[in-house]
Amino acid sequence: MELNIGLRNTKSAIFKGIIVFFAFLITVPLIVVLGYIIKQGIFQVNWHFLTSVPAPVGETGGGIINALVGSFIMVMVAAVVAIPVGMAAGIYLSENPRSKLAYYSGLCVDILQGVPSIVVGIVVYFWIVKPLGTFSALSGSAALAIMMLPIVIRSTEQTLKMLPDSLKEAALSLGVPYHRVILKVIVPCGFAGILSGIMLSIARVIGETAPLLFTAFGNPYLSYSLTKPMESLPHLIFTYATSPYDDWHNLAWGASFILLMFVLVLNIFTKVLTRKWKVQL
């Protein structure tokens, strides 16, 4: 009997060690990438780097303020469009899971989530860029909004499905109208989970380059106009990293560091929110 228990404990320790080893192994690529980008990019970041426009070809220095402002504007415009629409669709899917419209809508959301970003860029190019005859920040925001939608929809739907039915039943039993139950009870109770999905969607699209190549295109100058080409951090990194100039390579590493830190902070913030949300449930 004692021999069997000892053998089981040995097997348990061996399998636990294997699991810990592989759990550590999958973090190695992330640590290597983070370490290399931080090493290459952190020394390129300074006040001039963050507040200046790119220098002309052949001149040293310059910064990425045009890309920072451009990324912020395009992501915010995309969020203004995608978040309300995504939340509304997610609420409908959670409230009407057995309807035919919900079934086909969910199927479309799953398919849209698997569409490559470059395909989204090409579609928006033919929808907006070609009819208008110019690249623009508006078309870039449209592409990013399309990519944000599936994440916001699914996070809203799954979060609201986790809420107990007693919340809705209690509010309805008090005579509260259905739309007020959704807006004043259900959505606020699930707001932490919905916000986590929103943060994940922003982190997902802020590093996308492919759709912006066909839409916003890029701009070496600081621009605030939604109807004109606009620079973004991913596009600037792509342009500088593929250039033949060492100084531009350094700027690309600095921009990569800024983008990486922003995405990392967003993901950590999302994980903290998700953990607190699970505890509350």
pLDDT(173) > 90? no
pLDDT digits (tens, 9 = 90+) for 79-128: 999 999 999 999 999 988 888 888 999 899 989 988 999 999 999 999 99
Which distant-in-sequence residues (6+ apart) come within 8 Å of 89 by Cβ? 105, 109, 149, 153, 156
Percent with pLDDT over 70 in the chain:
96
pLDDT(151) > 80? yes
Closest CA to 172 of 162, 156, 189, 185: 185
pLDDT(57) > 90? no
Q: What does the pLDDT read at residue 63?
A: 86
| Torsion angle of C-alpha atoms 70, 73, 75, 80, degrees rounded to 10 | -170
Q: What does the pLDDT read at residue 3?
A: 61
Q: What is the 8-class DSSP label of residue 217? A: B
**What is the C-alpha to C-alpha distance for residues 54 and 232, in angstroms, rounded to an integer?**
12
281: confidence class by pLDDT, cuts 50, 70, 90 = very low
**What is the C-alpha to C-alpha distance for residues 2 and 83, in angstroms, rounded to an integer?**
60
Mean pLDDT within 23-39: 88
Tokens of 131: 């009819």
pLDDT digits (tens, 9 = 90+) for 209-239: 889 999 998 888 888 999 999 999 999 999 8
244 vs 128, residue with greater confidence: 128
Tokens of 227: 């109807």
pLDDT(256) > 60? yes
**What is the C-alpha to C-alpha distance for residues 41 and 250, in angstroms, rounded to an integer?**
7
Which distant-in-sequence residues (6+ apart) come within 8 Å of 35 by Cβ? none
**What is the C-alpha to C-alpha distance for residues 124 and 21, in angstroms, rounded to an integer?**
45
With beta carbons less than 8 A apart as the criterion, state whether 205 and 78 touch. Answer: yes
Q: What does the pLDDT read at residue 169?
A: 84
**What is the C-alpha to C-alpha distance for residues 153 and 84, in angstroms, rounded to an integer?**
10
With beta carbons less than 8 A apart as the criterion, state whether 63 and 50 touch. Answer: yes
Cα distances (Å, whole numbers) of residue 59 to 185, 247, 257: 58, 9, 22
pLDDT(207) > 70? yes
pLDDT(276) > 70? no
pTM of the predicted model, to two decimals? 0.87
Q: What's at 156, amino acid-wise?
A: T
Burial classification of residue 1, based on how many CB atoms lie within 10 Å of its CB (0-12 exposed, 13-18 middle, 19 or more buried): exposed
Long-range contact pairs involving 218-223 (C-beta distance under 8 Å, separation at least 24): 219/66, 219/70, 220/53, 220/54, 220/66, 221/53, 221/66, 222/53, 222/65, 222/66, 222/69, 223/66, 223/70, 223/137
